[in-house]
Amino acid sequence: MDATEEEKIKDKWIIERIPLEPFALISCDDDGNEVEYDAFSHHKNIKSMSNRTFECRPIIPSKRPLDTNAIEPSICNDLASLIYKSPHRRLLASCEYFELDDTTELLFNKDWLHEPQVKFACAQVLAGAVLMNAILVNTVEMYGGTKSADIHRELPSLSSVSIFTTKPTYANIWPHIRSTGDGSKLVIVTQTCTALITSIIRLDQSEEPKVGPSSCHFATSPQHTKIFIDQVSWTKAKKIESNASTRSIEP
What span, in angstroms and rounded, lies between the C-alpha atoms of 144 and 116? 10
Query: Which neighbouring-strand residues pair with 142?
Result: 195
The whole-number average pLDDT for the span 38-42 is 82
Instruction: Determine the Cα angle at 198 with ends 73 and 185, to 5°.
Output: 60
Q: What is the pTM of this model?
A: 0.66
Q: Check: CB of residue 142 under 8 Å from CB of residue 193.
A: yes
Closest C-alpha to 119, from 86, 144, 138, 145 = 144
What is the tens place of the pLDDT at every residue in 82-103? 888 888 888 888 899 999 999 9
| pLDDT tier for residue 228 given thresholds of 50, 70 and 90 | very high
What is the tens place of the pLDDT at every residue in 119-178? 999 999 999 999 986 899 999 999 998 888 888 776 666 556 667 777 888 999 999 888
Query: If residue 38 lies in a helix (H) or strand (E), which one and from where to where?
Result: strand 34-42
Q: Check: CB of residue 229 under 8 Å from CB of residue 97.
A: yes
How far is residue 36 from each of residues 23, 24, 50, measured CA to CA in Å?
A: 10, 6, 15
| pLDDT tier for residue 56 given thresholds of 50, 70 and 90 | confident
Query: If residue 46 lies in a helix (H) or strand (E), which one and from where to where?
Result: helix 43-49
Q: Which pLDDT score, from 0 to 100, does residue 1 have?
A: 52
| pLDDT tier for residue 24 given thresholds of 50, 70 and 90 | confident
Q: Which pLDDT score, from 0 to 100, does residue 214 have?
A: 66
How far is residue 95 from each of residues 59, 84, 90, 126, 233, measured CA to CA in Å?
A: 34, 13, 9, 14, 10
Question: Residue type for 56, please?
Answer: C
The whole-number average pLDDT for the span 204-225 is 76
- Among 10-14, 37-41, 165-169, 226-230, the least confident range: 10-14
Q: Which pLDDT score, from 0 to 100, does residue 115 have?
A: 95
What span, in angstroms and rounded, lies between the C-alpha atoms of 188 and 174? 6
**Position with higher pLDDT, 76 vs 44:** 44
Catalogue the E-assigned strands of the chain: 20-28, 34-42, 97-99, 130-132, 135-144, 174-180, 183-189, 193-202, 210-211, 226-230
Q: Which pLDDT score, from 0 to 100, does residue 76 have?
A: 46
Angle between helices 231-242 and 118-126 (to 10 degrees): 180
What count of Cα atoms within 13 Å lies in the side-chain half-sphere of residue 90? Answer: 0
Q: Is the pLDDT of residue 231 over 90?
A: yes
Distance of CA 150 to the CA centre of its chain: 26
Q: Is the pLDDT of residue 185 over 90?
A: no
* % of the chain beyond a pLDDT of 70: 84
What is the tens place of the pLDDT at every residue in 100-132? 999 999 999 999 999 999 999 999 999 999 998
Q: Check: CB of residue 240 under 8 Å from CB of residue 249.
A: yes
